[in-house]
Amino acid sequence: MFITVQYPILDYRFFQSSPARTERPKWPEPSAKEVVRYFGPVMSRNAIVYGPWDSEQKYCDVHGVLNLCGMGESHFFHLLHQSPYQSRILFRRFQSDGRFSVKFDIGFNDRFEEEITKTADALDKEQFYRHISRYLLCPLRVKVGGKLSPYLPLIDAGKHLRNAYFWSTYNDAPKSFNPRDLNYQVEDCEPQIIIQIESHALNLKFFEEQEVEMPELAAEGVHLYFDYMPYLQNGSKYETKLWIITSDDSKNILPVLSKDFKNYSSPIRYLRKNLLKIHQEKNAVKKLLEVLSGNDSRDIDAAGKEKIFYYLHKKLLNLSKAHRNAQPQYKLVELAFKLTEACHGTESLIDQLQGVNEYLAWMEKTNVPEKQSIVDYLNRNKTLIDEFIRGGTVFISYNHTDAPIVNDLAQRLKEAGITVILDSQAMLAGTEIKSFITKSILSSQAIISIVSASSLLSGWVGMETINTLAYKEFFPNTKFIPCNIDNEFFDDNFVANSVTKIQGRINVIDGIIAAQNKLGIDSLNFNEEKTRLHYLRSNLSKIVGHLKGGLCIDISSGNLAINFPKIVEAIRA
């Protein structure tokens, strides 16, 4: 098995009039003698090659930046390198387009197929994903400047790689890195995982429903599958984008050394390259449309905005092409949209559409090539968005103490063909909770609020409820569906008793903050909770009043099965 993890990074300094960014090396074609500060020298593809080559002409070997040191049982050496799978790190690469897009890649190779075929049991999806999770959760340290970060799971390396890249290119760098210097100038994006596996040695029937229909690949004995892989981290559920490439032909070996490349399948090589490029470009387009919508806080002047338009035009041209590297890419681009955060609630479709309108107005008055092909591409994207919206999307607001009944409800909704946004299932690694909640509400056609004594005392659920009520004033077609799992909030003394509890917690936090202030310790870890509690204390009466005045659907005890049809009817009404 060959595993690639890609970490896209976006550098907004390219659009600034006076960016605090060094332009050396001169990407995308730096000279062989140039060095990336803190990373190492620029390498050429003619140097020693390990692992599938993705057509990078120049790159930087960053084995010192992505550091998989550590001798614990859960670390790479014992968990994977010394295991029967005999995993090896093939490459750790950095590359930039010299403008807005940057990426880090790390690649592994192991003997998964050989080990699985030794057992009599058939491989199932859970076992397959469990093996990949070993890599995703493997502890590593990222070198930022000259200092290594604390251990963190490999899948979460993006934010530290963002810091490492910023620090290596910051031309006013003092001796030590301060995250405040970033100031939203560089942003990390959702990582992507590509798996290559020799399917002629394994039975992968459990992926049949996820296969991408591409006759051109099938004719070469190559198959592509997609999925969002679930994994557990510190007791919480997350998902990550996953592409799986398989080959029926045993001659299509996975190249590890330079001598193997003569047998490397061209369709697989071009497919890998297209998937990596599309992921990077879709992230760039999505973020730039947010900037153009005016709902992004970055301060970019008129000249910078013009650069955004031209850069965006180039990326849209790439995505709008029918073919790339002698392969059709429409299906890949369409799936890349469906697998983005948009379908999981962390992307505002409204922002995208506002940005598109800004871009189309610019394109109309500017002499740029292939306007119609881009308009056709955007129309196809709009069709996908319309289909997504028509399918029905529900955001469930709840307190985690009520998770068992919420999970039951979510599963029933999915079986009814309704898309569910649930933080324990949809929240990507590194996502901020506040951002997730706000954008989830914007992305949903209905909000189900799970009402219980514990949920009403949750600062987050209270914020979601108030946001929903405010949102309905501007978007009255959005449905608010309260579902109660107990009846405590109907009690006349519920608000008074609850506010007393909230004030008690505020008093405790005030005492802790005062103690930390005396010691000169920052209280950011408590300030946010205190703000939420003040917010809830002021609005609890309004929340309860709204719930009493509306019609709650009772899903307590055995009532979920009885009243579930009412919930579906309310969503689709």
Q: If pLDDT is split at 50, 70 and 90, which confidence band does 342 have? A: very low
Closest C-alpha to 395, from 328, 454, 471, 452: 471
Q: What is the pLDDT of residue 322?
A: 81
Position 262 pLDDT exceeds 80:
no
Whether the CB-CB separation of 397 and 447 falls below 8 Å is answered with: yes
Point out the least confidently predicted range of 347-356, 371-380, 424-433.
Answer: 424-433
Mean pLDDT across the chain: 80
| pLDDT > 90: percent of the chain | 25
pLDDT at 14: 94
- In Å, what is the CA distance from 310 to each residue of 289, 303, 450? 12, 11, 46
Range 282-303 average pLDDT: 82
Residue 166 C-alpha from the chain's centroid: 20
Runs of H (alpha helix) within 118-214: 125-136, 158-169
Tell me if 457 sits within 8 A of 494, measured CB to CB. Answer: no
Confidence of residue 55 (pLDDT cuts 50, 70, 90): low
Which has the closest alpha carbon to 479: 514, 449, 523? 449
Amino acid identity at 449: S
| pLDDT on residue 343 | 40
Q: Average pLDDT for residues 155-183, to the nearest whole number?
A: 83
Domain boundaries, the chain: 2-264, 265-390, 393-572
In this predicted structure, what is the pLDDT of residue 443? 60
pLDDT at 49 over 60: no
Average pLDDT over residues 195-201: 79
Of 94-108, 255-269, 333-347, give the lowest mean pLDDT range.
Answer: 333-347
pLDDT at 462 over 60: no
Span 422-448, average pLDDT: 55
Report yes or no: 513 and 443 within 8 Å, Cβ to Cβ: no
Q: Which residue has the higher pLDDT, 500 or 443?
A: 500
pLDDT score, position 107: 92
Q: Looking at residues 416-439, what average pLDDT do you find?
A: 56
Which of 47-61, 187-201, 307-321, 427-441 ranks highest by mean pLDDT? Answer: 307-321
Contact call for residues 444 and 396 (beta carbons, < 8 A): no
The dihedrals phi and psi of 19, each to the nearest 5 degrees, come to -70, 140
- What confidence category does residue 424 fall into, taking pLDDT thresholds of 50, 70 and 90? very low
- DSSP, collapsed to helix, strand or coil, labels residue 109 as strand
Query: Which amino acid, one-letter code, is at 469?
Result: L
Averaged pLDDT, 399-406: 80
User: In the numeric block, which tokens belong to residue 214?
Assistant: 């591409």
Output the pLDDT for position 468.
Answer: 52
Q: What pLDDT does 141 receive?
A: 95
Across the range 224-239, mean pLDDT stands at 79
DSSP code per residue over 230-293: EEEETTEEEEEEEEEEEES-TTS----SGGGGGG--HHHHHHHHHHHHHHHHHHHHHHHHHHHT
Classified by CATH at the fold level, domain 393-572 comes out as Rossmann fold (3.40.50)
Residue type, 416: A
pLDDT at 139: 94
Average pLDDT over every residue of 535-563:
82
Residue 259 identity? K
Predicted pLDDT of residue 470: 47
Helix (H) / strand (E) element for 484: namely strand 479-484
Instruction: Give the tens place of pLDDT for each residue, 65-116.
Output: 999 988 888 899 999 999 999 999 988 999 999 999 999 999 999 999 888 8
Q: What angle do CA 318, 430, 173 make, to 5 degrees?
A: 80
Q: Is the pLDDT of residue 433 over 50?
A: no
The segment with the largest mean pLDDT, out of 34-48, 74-88, 481-495, is: 74-88
Across 15-19, 48-52, 128-132, 551-555, the highest mean pLDDT is recorded for 128-132
In this predicted structure, the answer to whether residue 13 has a pLDDT above a threshold of 80 is yes
Q: What mean pLDDT is predicted for residues 461-484?
A: 61
Q: Quote the pTM value.
A: 0.72
CB of 94 closer than 8 Å to CB of 39: yes
d(CA 339, CA 30): 34
Tell me, what's the pLDDT at 525? Answer: 63
Q: Check pLDDT > 70 for residue 261.
A: no
Of 65, 280, 297, give the one whose Cα is nearest residue 165: 65
State the average pLDDT over residues 211-217. Answer: 86
Eight-class DSSP state of 211: B
| Contact of 5 with 179, CB cutoff 8 Å | no
Task: Classify each residue of 230-250 as buried b or exposed e, where b means 16 or more C-beta atoms within 10 Å of its C-beta.
Answer: ebeeeeeebbbbbbbbbbeee
Residue 533 has pLDDT above 90, yes or no: no
Report how far apart, in Å, the C-alpha atoms of 414 and of each of 178, 417, 558 are. Answer: 44, 5, 20
